[in-house]
């Protein structure tokens, strides 16, 4: 009887972990390294490019300030980073050294993303563009100007985009019309899970999970006074990092985040909690 009571107590304790967690959500602590932008006051002002382990230890300061749409991203092997800086997309070694010009956009570029095979870098610049890392080819994998950020699918044969027309879209490379489209108000950022099954999307200042196969949309945050942004999947697909802070607005009424802090949640949206990292995550490597 005592053994049974101990087992029940353990199960209940695990189920209550993180408030809304379940036994299935008692996943190992996240590993790897997060790339992020630290904003001392608000995301309207430039942020400091840094990296750290998800527990907040081992902080590396790159000594560089970037805008919120710079979108720093690790290469698939974790040895390099890419980011938007002014009118250019640039690359550097993962420690910030050996900065190299990569391409200028037809307009100010934003949110560059390395393809899973490391052969392409995609970015937004009045539409989505993709350029081979050797500079030999530049292409536009989607039609129109409404796509404002993108994410590669595992395998690199599909991309997901968010639009300024309240859609999340999926494209098969080689075609310029979406193969799937999901309605979602004011989407701004998207990331594709490592298993290819789920999209994490920032929309209207909250976070949503979209099941790619069925199109089912699950809202995982609902915080009117907070602004959640920039969901980034962990390399093992068990966690999602995101930024959260008080909702503010600029002089034109555009929303932004005041004093954001990196948060974590499980892949299903449970066990949401703050880390000790001040800022907004942009990429996660092993």
d(CA 81, CA 129): 18
User: What is the extent of the structural domain holding 219?
Assistant: 33-285
Show the 3-state SS of 73-89. Answer: EECCCCCEEEEEECCEE
In a domain, 151, yes or no: yes
Q: Beta 239-249 vs 226-233: how paired, if at all? A: antiparallel
The angle subtended at Cα 111 by Cα 88 and Cα 169, nearest 5°, is 135
Q: Is residue 14 part of a domain?
A: no
Query: What would the two tokens of residue 166 be?
Result: 């309240």
Largest alpha-carbon pair distance within the chain?
Answer: 72
Task: Output the tens digit of pLDDT for each of the chain's 286 residues.
Answer: 444 444 333 333 333 344 444 444 568 899 999 999 999 899 999 999 999 999 999 999 999 999 999 999 999 999 999 999 999 999 999 999 999 999 999 999 999 999 999 999 999 999 999 999 999 999 999 988 999 999 999 999 999 999 999 999 999 999 989 999 999 999 999 999 999 999 999 999 999 999 999 999 999 999 999 999 999 999 999 999 999 999 998 777 788 899 999 999 999 999 999 999 999 999 999 9
CATH number at residue 56: 2.120.10.30
Contacts of 225 (CB under 8 A, 6+ apart): 246, 247
The domain total for the chain is: 1
**Are 248 and 256 in contact, with CB atoms under 8 Å apart?**
yes
With 0.85 as the threshold, say if the pTM is over it.
yes
Q: Is residue 246 assigned to a domain? A: yes
Q: Does residue 20 fall inside a structural domain? A: no
Classify residue 284 by its DSSP letter. Answer: E
10 is a domain residue: no
Q: How far apart are CA 111 and CA 163, in angstroms?
A: 14
> In this structure, is residue 27 part of a structural domain?
no
CB 160 within 8 A of CB 190: yes
Backbone angles phi, psi at 83, to 5 degrees: -160, 160
Q: What is the pLDDT of residue 251?
A: 75
């Amino acid at each position: 009887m005592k053994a049974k009571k101990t087992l029940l107590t353990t199960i209940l304790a695990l189920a209550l972990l993180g408030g809304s967690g379940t036994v299935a959500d008692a996943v190992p602590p996240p590993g790897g390294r997060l790339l992020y932008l630290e904003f001392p006051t608000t995301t309207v002002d430039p942020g400091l490019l840094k990296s750290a382990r998800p527990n907040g230890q081992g902080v590396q300061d790159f000594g560089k300030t970037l805008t919120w749409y710079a979108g720093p991203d690790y290469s698939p092997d974790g040895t390099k980073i890419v980011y938007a800086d002014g009118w250019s997309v640039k690359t550097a070694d993962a420690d910030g050294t050996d900065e190299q010009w990569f391409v200028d956009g037809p307009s100010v570029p934003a949110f560059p993303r390395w393809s899973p095979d490391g052969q392409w870098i995609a970015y937004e610049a009045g539409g989505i563009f993709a350029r081979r890392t050797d500079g030999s080819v530049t292409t536009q994998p989607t039609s129109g100007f409404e796509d404002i950020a993108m994410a590669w699918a595992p395998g690199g044969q599909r991309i997901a985009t968010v639009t300024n027309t309240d859609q999340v879209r999926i494209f098969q490379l080689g075609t310029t019309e979406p193969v799937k489209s999901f309605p979602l108000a004011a989407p701004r950022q998207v990331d594709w899970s490592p298993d290819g099954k789920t999209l994490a999307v920032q929309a209207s200042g909250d976070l949503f999970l979209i099941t790619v196969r069925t199109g089912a949309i699950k809202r995982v945050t609902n915080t009117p006074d907070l602004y959640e942004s920039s969901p980034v999947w962990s390399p093992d697909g068990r966690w999602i990092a995101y930024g959260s802070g008080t909702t503010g607005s600029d002089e034109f009424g555009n929303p932004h985040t005041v004093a954001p802090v990196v948060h974590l949640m499980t892949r299903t949206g449970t066990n949401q909690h703050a880390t000790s990292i001040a800022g907004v995550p942009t990429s996660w490597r092993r």
